[in-house]
Amino acid sequence: MTPPVTAGAPTAERVLPVPGGLASGPLRRFLLAHVVPGAERHDAATGTHERVVPTGAGPVVAAVVLGTAERGGQVLVRASAPVLDEVCAVVRRWLDLDGEVAAAEAHLGADAELAPLVAARPGLRVPRAVCGAETALLTVLGQQVSLAAARTFAGRLVAAHGEPVAGGLRAFPAPAALAAAGPEALRAVTGVTGARSRTLHALAGLLAGGLDLDAARAAGEGALARERLLALPGVGPWTADYVALRALGDDDAFLPGDLVLRKAMGGVSPAAALARARPWRPWRGYALLHLWTARVFAAPPVPTT
């Protein structure tokens, strides 16, 4: 493994402007809800999110501070100076800072159902992926379980197969390491079902064998990557579309079967949700985030013991 450049390297920081503004509150709550134990930390009081970011020089720990409206919705990034440029580029993609938010809001704001949501949260972003493979594997771990359960499974996977980086954080396991472990070992360390562990292992094998989701996104080949995902046993439309939305950068990705989405739309059927969303194209991904946010991420979570 390449030694992490964080060891002994000076830390630098940079403020990233956000064209179109940033709805930082919902984004903070989304990140907090999806924290992977051992690979990420989130300070809800300050809006600081720490996580491991892969770079060409090795994995580094980066901190991202999501700005408030008073600070112009800016984003502050701290990382090792030698890779700060690369980390900032990853953060811009991950947090959708260059997304066509103005165009999406203009289109969706003309819809009677979505207009109040768009007006209430201007600058709402679609959280993307730091690493496409990581997001795809986490999506499989989160199939048909709560976010809390998905985080537990992911934390166990990181503890068992993640490489230590710095500050007590580990890198999310590489697909090759998970493919080499085998499905039974993955089931044993995570606690997922046998079927889920086989899907996780099959996906890891596909990713290790050459399916590069980040390269597919950059090349505009997301549709082909989505079809390859759907060919795996245990990967259905919900999983493929979620990966398309977050890892493949598809602004029009939509999950009509998602339970939270259908509740936000008034308890409609998947077919009705799909039909209702037709006028929202080609910005259904942003519509999805507005509806999810209104249902789940609009207010701070209730503290639990």
H-state helical runs in 34-174: 84-94, 101-108, 115-120, 132-141, 147-161
Beta-strand runs (E) in the chain: 11-16, 40-43, 48-53, 60-66, 75-80, 164-166, 169-170
Q: Running DSSP on this structure, what letter comes out for residue 278?
A: G
Closest by CA position to 62, among listed 113, 9, 115: 9
β-pair partners for 77: 14, 64
Task: Catalytic residue, from 241, 250, 251, 258: name it.
Answer: 258
Vertex 293 angle, CA 238 and 271, to 5°: 40
Angstrom distance (rounded) from CA 28 to CA 42: 9
Q: Is 43 a catalytic residue?
A: no
Which positions are catalytic? 258
